[in-house]
Amino acid sequence: MNPFKSSIYWRVLISFCAANLLALALGIFLTQQFIEYSTAVEINWSVLAQGADQAYERGGSTALTEWSLQQRREGIEATLYENGQALSPIRIPPSVQESLQTWLAEKRDVVLQPWPNLYLAVQQVQGSDGHSRQLVAFSRSHSRLRQQTRQSIFLAIQGGLSLLFIGFVGWWVARSVAKPVEAIRRATQRMASGELSARVEGKRRAPDELAQLASDFDAMAERIEALVAHDRSVLQDLSHELRSPLARLHLILDLAHRSTTSEEASRYFLQAEQEISRLDDMTGEMLALSRLEGGIPGVNREPVDVSTLLRECVRRAQLEAQARGIVLDVVDAAPAIVSGNELLLERAFDNLIANAIKFSPAGGRVALRSQSVAGRVEMSVSDNGPGVPDAELGSLFRPLFRGSNASRADGHGLGLAIVQRVVKAHGGDIQAANGADGGLVVCLQLPLAGGESH
């Protein structure tokens, strides 16, 4: 998976970038406020003027220049003026050059802030030599702190804030990730302990990978729960259905054991053989249904001509139909190619035809039709039997369901259930309805390969 397409990656990246930018902005603000506060508390312009005058009296302009360089390193541009002239070089901002002579001429102490981030001090000082001089000092940061000290303070504040914000963002991201992961873990543990109804609690609405994982887990859990419930239901139905033939088989074998002649015993053994065959057919159909539920139809797909396959299934069923005088009427249609498993489709068609023959009266008629419409092939099988009560049509494809008319023919209630599973596995649909002239009509639709129509 490309990490740049991950919403979690972008959420973490944006969160940490935002935290660092916020820490940088707040660090600059707090550092500036700290410097401003420390300067306001520590600076003493009068003492600064005395120090400048002492340096000048001690060593003249050279000593004053050295003193000015020391102050410059601490963030202050300062020197002494005498008779309006600077006694050592000083860098004066052009914006205050014109006003400086006016402030000097007033011969009074001045401390002001003419522009933002620019502070000016003019201090009168009387030297021991009797001369009057004036201190002129500028500070853009209004700070006596050295540049290295200011950088250290800034880095300390910046580092502390970065750790604070990154720690908070890390906690928030970890919490947002750990919470859904913990919910999935709890749901997995509950499901592993046998609670198939377990679902992920408090699913997130954000469309990120964890929310998708939670949704996929719930979908998987629902599917597993439905399959297990279905298997339990089928197993219960099957166990109920097996009781009757097993009971009859036990009774037949008991009667055969008590028979007095070989002819009588042979007759009972023949009945037992029929019951065993019935049990074998039932378990075989149950295994086929179980394989269909397991998703086996998803393999070995190939082009299958539905019309050709239908005619072949009818040909094999002719013998059984003729034995009861039933006519199989096939409406020949143009070839209709679907992509599927030929063996499974053949089993579905055989079950539909066998079901129609089984419920048709002697001398009846079974009509089979197929046609291609709008990218799908539609096939119908109709008989002229008793039909199905409307209330039972919805349960007709349920495994082991036998309606009120089931007593008219032998069966296990699995044939149509298998047909439905095969059709669904091929992306199709199937319905059953009572015909206008009586009998049952079963219609199924399958998608044509490539979506073509004829």
Please give, one letter per residue, the 3-state secondary structure of 101-137. HHHHHCCCCEEEEEECCEEEEEEEEECCCCCEEEEEE
Q: Is 3's pLDDT higher than 70? A: no
Residue 298 pLDDT: 45
- Find the angle CA(274)-CA(279)-CA(280) to the nearest 5 degrees: 95
Contact 145/11 with Cβ under 8 angstroms? no
Q: Is 242's pLDDT higher than 60? A: yes
* Rounded CA separation 248/143 (Å): 108
Q: In terms of Cα–Cα distance, which of 120, 126, 67, 71 is closest to 93?
A: 120
Under the phi-then-psi rule, with left for phi > 0, alpha for psi from -120 to 50, and beta for the rest, what region is 355? alpha
* Rounded CA separation 3/9 (Å): 6
Q: Which residue spans within 207-261 are E strands per DSSP?
A: none
351 — pLDDT class (breaks 50, 70, 90): confident
Q: Is 51's pLDDT higher than 60? A: yes
Q: Is 75's pLDDT higher than 80? A: no
pLDDT tens string 358-411: 888 888 888 888 888 888 888 889 888 877 877 777 777 776 665 555 545 555
Helices (H), 302-341: 306-323
Contact 443/430 with Cβ under 8 angstroms? yes
Q: In terms of Cα–Cα distance, which of 193, 188, 189 is closest to 220?
A: 188
* Rounded CA separation 423/439 (Å): 22
pLDDT tens string 404-451: 555 455 555 567 877 888 888 788 898 888 887 778 899 999 998 875
Q: Which residue has the tokens 């250290």?
A: 152
Would you say the CATH fold of 300-451 matches that of 44-141?
no
pTM, two decimal places: 0.45
* Mean pLDDT confidence for 218-222: 85
* Rounded CA separation 235/232 (Å): 5
Domain 300-451 matching CATH 3.30.565.10: the answer reads: yes
pLDDT tens string 248-298: 788 888 888 888 888 888 888 888 888 788 778 767 666 665 665 555 444
Domain covering 44-141, topology: Beta-Lactamase (3.30.450)
Domain ranges of the chain: 44-141, 233-292, 300-451
* Mean pLDDT confidence for 323-330: 87
* Rounded CA separation 406/367 (Å): 21
Structure tokens at 109: 């102490």
